[in-house]
Amino acid sequence: MRQRLAPEHRELTTLALALVFAMSTWFSTAAVLGQLRVAWDLSDSQASWLTIAVQLGFVVGAVVSSSTNLADRVTPLRLILIGSIGAAAANALVVVADAYPGAVALRFVTGGFLALVYPPALKAIAAWFVRSRGLAMGVMIGALTVGSALPHLINALGGLSWQATLIAASVVTLVGGTIADRACRPGPHARPSAAFDPGQLAAIVRNREFRLASAGYFGHQWELYAMWAWIAAFYGDVFSSTRVASFAAFLAIGVGAAGSVYAGLMSDRRSRPRAAALAMKWSAAAALVTGFLVDVPPIVPLTAGIVWGFWVIADSAQFSAIVSETCDQRFVGTALTLQLAAGFILTVFTIFLVPVVQSAFGWGWAFAMLAPGPLLGTWAMRRLEQPEPTPAYRY
């Protein structure tokens, strides 16, 4: 007799699928950047801002959502639907604008609405899991990863115009929001989120665990989104076919879903800092190597990129989990918002710098520039594993 899924596993499967679809607009312009460069005669700096705008919009959306305590006044599943509708509409309007200035503004709006998708999805699944939360969070980060990679797959399989690719991503995002709202249910362990409280920032920053977890997260963010934003352009120089390059980018980003699940399992069985540190060591090594492989047989940079993609996102869920478990429970919302906002602002610098360094010195040094981030994070996780030193007193 066929065994039915437990309710929490059924919800995890359904909500993860919804998140895969709903996040597909995040890197939709990165997937068609080669076409947009030609259509709009973009410089490297302008191309960077199409992704940077999403990052900044996400930061603003997250802070506004937290400071207004929106997640307590609207259920997370309904917020995902609202965010999906807004992100899909803004992304589709890039086709109508058909010009760089309007596209940047609309990408900012897209990021703002995606802040109503990703954090509420994590909150919604946390309400279903008390034990095995590391694995559950890993599955959700894996869904975010596949969703971010999805536009590259659309572009690879269809050979579509950039307009068709963006419209397809918007439609998929709408489907994701609808699944979350109609097919998912609130969990039995739902708790109100702590409101964003700037007055508590000093106390939060004094927390040693918060500082070290945030140092790890900042190192992670220094690398992650720059890798995701520019890996397709890198493969454009490796492969002669644009469609093959897009499919390679999909594999390199999408494989991170498996990495997230693996690290989630490891964090539940061993420790969150140890799982994060392992991921960052491998990720730093891949960053140091991958960009120097442009002129070797394509299977080599493809394999290196897949290894990089597996580890580059695997640590992500653990930083938020550490903060949620070690900070004052009354102000977890404030602590997570502070960490999130600072980390996403940091991504702006490397997304902008990678094409600048690549133009001057090549892909090898452009990607190697990202390695210090996970190396810093590895150091922070090792410190977090060690007990806090006992202060010496003089008598």
Q: Transcribe 329-368 into DSSP letters.
A: GGGHHHHHHHHHHHHHHHHHHHHHHHHHHHHHH-HHHHHH
Q: What is residue 159's DSSP assignment?
A: -
Tell me the average pLDDT across 158-169. 89
From CA 19, how far away is CA 140, in angstroms rounded? 7
> What value does the mean pLDDT of the chain take?
89
157-173: string of b/e by CB count within 10 Å (b at 16+)? eeebebbebbbbbbebb
Identify which of 388, 164, 374, 203 has the alpha carbon closest to the alpha carbon of residue 280: 374
Burial 315-339 (b: 16+ CB within 10 A, else e): bbbbbbbbbbebbeeebbbbbbbbb
Backbone angles phi, psi at 13, to 5 degrees: -60, -45
* CATH number, span 7-186: 1.20.1250.20
pLDDT band for 135, please (50, 70, 90 cuts): confident
In CATH, the architecture of 197-385 is Up-down Bundle (1.20)
Say yes or no: do domains 7-186 and 197-385 share a fold.
yes
Domain boundaries, the chain: 7-186, 197-385
Q: What pLDDT, on the 0 to 100 scale, is given for residue 393? A: 46
Give phi and psi for 287, each to the nearest 5.
-60, -35
What are 168-178's pLDDT values in tens digits? 999 999 999 99
Range from 49-58, 165-174, 268-277 carrying the lowest mean pLDDT:
268-277
182: CB partners within 8 A, 6+ apart: none
Q: Please, which pLDDT band fits residue 216 given cuts at 50, 70 and 90?
A: very high
Tokens describing residue 182: 């109609």
Identify the pLDDT of residue 394.
45
pLDDT of residue 117: 92
* Residue 128 confidence (pLDDT): 87
Q: What is the pTM of this model?
A: 0.87
Question: What pLDDT sits at residue 155?
Answer: 87
Query: Averaged over 332-351, what is the pLDDT?
Result: 84
190/286 Cα distance (integer angstroms): 39
Which string of DSSP letters, residue by residue, matches 22-77? HGGGTTHHHHTHHHHHHHHT--HHHHHHHHHHHHHHHHHHHHHHHHTTHHHHS-HH
Q: What is the mean pLDDT of residues 2-6?
A: 67
